[in-house]
A and B are shown apart, each in its own frame.
Chain A
Amino acid sequence: MSDPKIDGFELEKGFRGMAKDTGSDQTMFKGVHWGKAMMWIFLLSDTFVFSCFLIAYMKGRASTPVEWPNPSEVFALDAFGVPVPLLLIALMTFVLITSSGTMALAVKYGYERNRKMCGYLILATALGGLTFVGMQAYEWSKLIHEGVRPWENPFGAAQFGSFFFMITGFHGTHVSIGVIFLFIYCYKVFAGHYDEGKRGWFTKMKGDYVEVEILGLYWHFVDLVWVFIFAFFYLW
């Protein structure tokens, strides 16, 4: 199914060709695995979720009567006694982006049927995600320690805490779910389920390395969303 060549089907060039291709029989996206198409559409829907959150945040921030706190002071971290703005966030972002890289490599080795490399790289990705969640927990506890709550904070508008905890929490949930699945897939890869086409415990469906790629799509998306959250919360 991952073979992109379709028998008896030649693409015409230009817009008409695209229309013909799109409307042709059986599949709209030629040679695209069902699960992959599903993940793309899910991500589109999820994009709307995060967009709604971020638009609500922009509206909330723009219309609050109280001054918004200065992010570079609130999120500063003391390193050797000097407050460095955004230090922790920079680290978190670095870890998450790196994990995207290891995920991409895992997909590559998966398709090469290199079980060992694929498994270790997924494990690395999972550990990266775990580190990210851990650092986020640290940041939350630091802010809570400083008196920031969802309903109030000492730095300014109460909505700052509300939106911060809600949106980073929602994103953190996404990361955590991703980490859980990464561990499951890591086990499945090492156990060789994808090589044998073993049926899943719950789904009763045969597995394949394409699932690693599908999870990879999700993981990259979560990273991408983080970039937006980063920009809107920490740089604005």
Chain B
Amino acid sequence: MSDEYENKSSYQAQSSETISGTGSGVSPDMDYVRPAENPEQDLYHAHSFIEKWVFCQDAKVIGVQYFLTAVFTGVVGLILSWLMRLQLGFPGLAGFITAEHYYQFVTMHGMIMVVYFLTALFLGGFGNYLIPLMVGARDMVFPYVNMLSFWMFFVAVAVLMASFFVPGGPTGAGWTLYPPQTILEGTPGHGWGILLMLISLSLFVIGFTMGGLNYMITILQARTRGMTLMRMPLTVWGIFTATVLAMLAFPALLVSSIMMTLDKLLGTSFFMPTILKAGEVLEYGGGSPILFQHLFWFFGHPEVYIVALPAFGIVSDLISVHARKNIFGYRMMVWAIVGIGALSFFVWAHHMYVSGMNPWFGFFFASTTLIIAVPTAMKVYNWILTLWRGNIRINTVMLWCLGFIVTFVNGGITGIFLGNVSVDVPLSDTYFVVAHFHMVMGIAPLMVIMGAIYHWFPLVAGKMLDEKLGKWHFWTTFLGAYSIYFPMHYLGFIGVPRRYYEMYDSPYMTSGVGLNEFISTAAFIVGAAQLILVFNIVKTMKTGKKAEKNPWKANSLEWFTSTVPPEHGNFGERLPVVHRWPYDYNVPGAGEDYLPQTAAPSEVAHTEVEKT
């Protein structure tokens, strides 16, 4: 698969490669695809309401279950962020927000959004729904384990939410849960709160492992005939690589959770050095707080890409479909996804430049971190080069994609500040960091999620979402979110540290009061604007127009199911056979401006693509 695209006839091979069986020599039958390697999958159809909608083994239903549960946690996270912004913008206005509460909100908001909302939504939600459809499988390979995966996640969420109601409230240790402070007095929720958090995280890891095995094996071993790895949509590549990262990164989270639980419950001292509290020496001693930070960030940094890579993949597909043009540099995109994923395991300590670890690590981790900027930049170039000379539908989906590009480039570039070790020194632990990661892994993936909702809603629900409402939704969200986080960087420049309940009276910090009020107001508006989407969905389900099959004229397999919405088994009698990559838009000589992946070479023999 390496140099075939050098000359002019290069791209023509993209669609017809391996058609001739082994890929070498010309077969007499140009539509030839190798016979099936996997037998028909043994599907267990539901027999009752509970089997169909509750303990369901259909990946699509599980995907929707994941999606809704994740959105529920996301709403909780959103409300928490409102409360925080209320305190920061208008201190004292809501008297019930004490410092304890504020720190509990910060912690729960962070953990919910990163793990229970974004990770579960992208991998559990979109992953479950789209993987089998996009690779042409009838279902995930282990439907039963998949079902368990969701219910484990559900229990994890329940335990997490329960921590709001236990004595002492949820943990307020900051989402990074740094010991020793996390389990000591002086931190809110240092009793039940942190315990439930750690249990919930462990359950989440176990549940995710079950799901992740499914995603990986389905993608690796259950693709349909003709679906080579390099013909998979980038969405699948993104989710796949993110799953691999998760399978290798979550162990570190599990281990650190277990160790901290033991520190808390049994009084072991894994992370606990000798500590003097209120004049008393505690019974801990000899442990290393920095060890926890290493374990946490060995999970934490890949986690960033677990959220980002599916977003990269999905947005590539959306841009290509709505720009009516093939994704530019598909193979570069794939290698960039894989490369970013691999590199993400070697950069974790860039979160720890000022943590007190051996400062000589700084050189290594700064270099690896900035190397990641290269494949990431290549992806950005390829997105905009896909738009170039395309035929761009400026609809709601495309708007979300454009919004993604702006916010992602903005957040990516502030990442270069923070990754570059000595530049990080003045900026770390300030609002610059808060603004950076919200822009790059909060708003940017959210833009993709929204775009994906508008894009795939016709498939899932069979109805088209309202475009006008969608555009209002986009502009309020995008402009609002941008005006929250862009100015926030400048609070960091002033030197305002993060996780401050109140700014007090430092002269340079009081200059940020007006800015804080503005940011808070924007945050309220953006949060409320999400009701437009809710309204849009309700309205569409009631009176919306029915979606035709494949309304966007897309190429990938999820639009070629036997029914819309797809039934259990997805593709009816026969699985589709794939003859090309999913990006054949506006192929010279083809009648329509798109060629589905299932279009056989003989059907389109007149197009230039097939003249080998």
Contacts and interface: CB of A to CB of B under 8 A. Distances in A.
A7 B34 contact: yes
Contact of A158 (B225, B227, B229, B286): B286
Interface string B26-40: 000000011111110
A20 B222 CA distance: 17
B262 interface: yes
Interface string A1-17: 10000111110100000
Interface in B249-300: 250-252, 254-256, 258-259, 262, 266-270, 283, 285-288, 291, 295, 298
Contacts of A161: 268
A56 B247 contact: no
Contacts of B228: 23-25
A28 interface: yes
B37 A30 contact: yes
A226 B216 CA distance: 27
B235 interface: no
A156 B116 CA distance: 41
A159 B247 CA distance: 28
A212 B418 CA distance: 51
Interface stretch (A62-70, A86-94, A118-126, A184-192): A62-70
Nearest to B253: A52
B37 A202 contact: no
A29 B222 CA distance: 10
Contacts of B605: none
B269 A159 contact: yes
B50 interface: no
Which of A25, A49, A150, A162 gathers most chain B CB within 10 Å? A25
Interface stretch (A36-44, A74-82, A102-110, A174-182): A36-44
Interface stretch (B15-23, B406-414, B561-569): B15-23
B226 interface: yes
Interface string A203-214: 111100000000
Contact of A42 (B21, B213, B288): B213
Contacts of A7: 34-35, 37
Which of A44, A51, A150 gathers most chain B CB within 10 Å? A150
A9 B44 CA distance: 31
B37 A6 contact: yes
A56 B270 contact: yes
B269 A158 contact: yes
B248 A27 contact: no
A32 interface: yes
B578 interface: yes
Nearest to B267: A151
Nearest to B265: A150
Contacts of A32: 221
A205 B270 contact: no
A140 to B, nearest CB: 14
A20 B42 CA distance: 29
Interface in B540-578: 578
Contact of A26 (B34, B251, B286, B287): B34
Contacts of A12: 22, 24
B266 A28 contact: no
Contacts of A44: 247-248
A48 interface: yes
A53 interface: yes
Interface string A194-226: 000000001111100000000000000000000
A145 interface: no
A66 B247 CA distance: 36
Contacts of A163: 270
Contact of A27 (B216, B220, B291): B220
Given A7-B35, A44-B248, A49 B255 contact: yes
B109 interface: no
Given A60-B270, A66-B286, A23 B1 contact: yes
A227 interface: no
Contacts of A64: 286
B162 interface: no
B230 interface: yes
Contact of B222 (A34, A46, A170): A34
A166 B269 CA distance: 12
B36 A26 contact: yes
A37 B295 CA distance: 28
A45 B248 contact: yes
A38 B142 contact: yes
B73 interface: no
Contact of B38 (A24, A27, A51): A27
A34 B269 contact: no
B468 to A, nearest CB: 43
Nearest to A1: B39
B385 interface: no
Nearest to B210: A42
Contacts of B18: 24-25
B210 to A, nearest CB: 9
B132 to A, nearest CB: 13
B214 to A, nearest CB: 8
A25 B225 contact: yes
15 contacts: A1-B39, A22-B229, A37-B220, A38-B142, A41-B216, A45-B247, A48-B247, A48-B251, A52-B254, A56-B295, A60-B291, A162-B269, A170-B258, A202-B144, A204-B144
A-B interface, 7 closest residue pairs, ranked by CB to CB distance from nearest: A48-B251, A162-B268, A52-B255, A23-B229, A49-B251, A203-B144, A151-B267
